[in-house]
A and B are shown apart, each in its own frame.
Chain A
């Protein structure tokens, strides 16, 4: 994205009061207690084990730690995780 384009997008997001994930390609993370987790607009699974899930994002990575993690559903843009979630760690890079 060019600098101007990004600024226009930023301006539109603030003026129109639109959620940022719609304007920028940011992930939307929805968590229901510590049992269910939806992540929209991820970029793929980097690592998956019953205690850890590492997802690639457009910028950075998302690390989910917990126990008995199960991928309930996975689509090119979305992933739905169930289990006991302990931490969500955002690594910007």
Chain B
């Protein structure tokens, strides 16, 4: 048993002894259960050993019986150190102060994090948390229990479906799951729906308001289709008219189709060149003598080195040169007409918007000029013809 930490805490003595019967003393002491160790003889009948402080007073009767004399040489351990430490008041105060500070600083909330907010703003959640008593520099022991806090926060945030609060050390994490709300309908003020083109009405779907237009009615641009005015006289009411009105609109398109079409295709031959960019200059590093094609396309984007968000004037460019081949096709008049009509149709339908369709088409004239086929085509497109007109109530 060496001078272990436990012995140090309990305190122990270094004793020297003289005379008497050493062996008898040892046997007696051990039988009495004294904790003694490091027994060492320094000469005939003299020696030293170590003894637990608590056993010191039990040593006396044994000494008397065996005729040994002892002398305390050294005192070790905390019970003796304590006196010495207590004398150093400022040091003690500092040590205590440090422990206190550590304790106080670790019982403060240092950070509040909010997670999972998308539509809800973080400051809003933080403000609600502050009202619940979660804010930086708050005492942890002053806060309510985590589940209570979560419940309180949930009642303060009507747009949250679930709120979780968890503490890890000195930081608080608030996790929010938002409710998914149906999208708000845009507020509509009273209005008419009017025609935005001259057209022949084909279908009227009125959701709100009084339908004025009827199928097979010619309407002019600006004419009211669905009225936002309901009732007459004293019972008059203004509503935002909603609905859809489809009509046939006439278009005359002039289409030019070249009779020889040039297609550019890749041959599959490629070459790569890389450059080092310094400032505005590029220094070619690899790919010399490659990619000398008669016709080619070069694709490459420079990559500038970045350092903490700044773009440095040094970069790298990798160009890929692809050989191309041009093929010329000659079109017959029929093929050219088909192609031209398709293009015109697509173009018109794109402009007419969703739900439009080609009702009829008629080629008015065909003519060949300068290697092109010039077509004049009349299209009848069925499309939505409504636009809104806000109403201002006149007193």
Report A's interface with B, CB cutoff 8 A.
44-50, 70-76, 80
Give the residues in chain A near B23, CB-CB below 8 Å. 44-48
| Interface pair A74/B41, CB less than 8 Å apart | no
Most chain B CB within 10 A, of A49, A50, A74, is at A74
| Interface pair A44/B41, CB less than 8 Å apart | no
A27 to B13, CA, bound (A): 31
Chain B interface size range: 10 to 19
Give the residues in chain A near B40, CB-CB below 8 Å. 50, 70-71
Q: Mark B1-41, 1 if CB is under 8 A from A, else 0.
A: 11000000000000000000011001100110100111111
In-complex Cβ contact of A72 among B27, B30, B38 (8 A): B38
Interface of B is mostly: mixed
A71-B31 CB under 8 A given contacts A45-B26, A46-B23, A48-B22: no
A48-B31 CB under 8 A given contacts A71-B26, A72-B2, A74-B36: no
In-complex Cβ contact of A74 among B2, B22, B26 (8 A): B26
A70-B22 CB under 8 A given contacts A44-B27, A76-B31, A76-B33: no
- A-B contact count, CB below 8 Å? 42
Report B's interface with A, CB cutoff 8 A.
1-2, 22-23, 26-27, 30-31, 33, 36-41, 49
Interface of A is mostly: strand
Give the residues in chain A near B2, CB-CB below 8 Å. 72-73
B393 to chain A, nearest CB (A): 107
| Interface pair B41/A50, CB less than 8 Å apart | yes
| Interface pair A73/B41, CB less than 8 Å apart | no
In-complex Cβ contact of B1 among A44, A45, A46, A73 (8 A): A73
| Interface pair A72/B37, CB less than 8 Å apart | yes
A45 to B40, CA, bound (A): 14
In-complex Cβ contact of B41 among A46, A49, A75, A76 (8 A): A49
A46 to B24, CA, bound (A): 8
Most chain A CB within 10 A, of B22, B23, B49, is at B23
With CB as the reference atom, state the residue of chain A lying closest to B33: A76
A49 to B42, CA, bound (A): 9
Give the residues in chain B near A45, CB-CB below 8 Å. 23, 26-27
**8 A-B contacts, Cβ less than 8 Å apart?**
A44-B27, A48-B26, A48-B39, A70-B40, A71-B40, A76-B30, A76-B31, A80-B1
With CB as the reference atom, state the residue of chain A lying closest to B37: A73
Give the residues in chain B near A46, CB-CB below 8 Å. 23
| Interface pair A75/B38, CB less than 8 Å apart | no
A50 to B43, CA, bound (A): 8
With CB as the reference atom, state the residue of chain A lying closest to B39: A71
With CB as the reference atom, state the residue of chain A lying closest to B41: A50
A44 to chain B, nearest CB (A): 5
A44 to B27, CA, bound (A): 6
| Interface pair B39/A74, CB less than 8 Å apart | yes
With CB as the reference atom, state the residue of chain B lying closest to A73: B1
In-complex Cβ contact of B38 among A49, A50, A70 (8 A): A70
A45 to B28, CA, bound (A): 10
Q: Which 10 A-B pairs have the closest CB atoms?
A: A71-B39, A73-B1, A44-B27, A70-B40, A73-B37, A45-B23, A45-B26, A50-B41, A74-B30, A76-B30
A48 to B27, CA, bound (A): 11
Give the residues in chain B near A75, CB-CB below 8 Å. 30
B296 to chain A, nearest CB (A): 85
A66 to chain B, nearest CB (A): 13
A75 to B36, CA, bound (A): 8
Q: A71-B39, A72-B38, A73-B2 provided; 18 other pairs, C-beta below 8 A? A: A45-B23, A46-B23, A48-B22, A48-B26, A48-B41, A49-B41, A50-B41, A70-B39, A70-B40, A71-B26, A71-B37, A71-B40, A71-B49, A73-B37, A74-B36, A75-B30, A76-B30, A76-B31
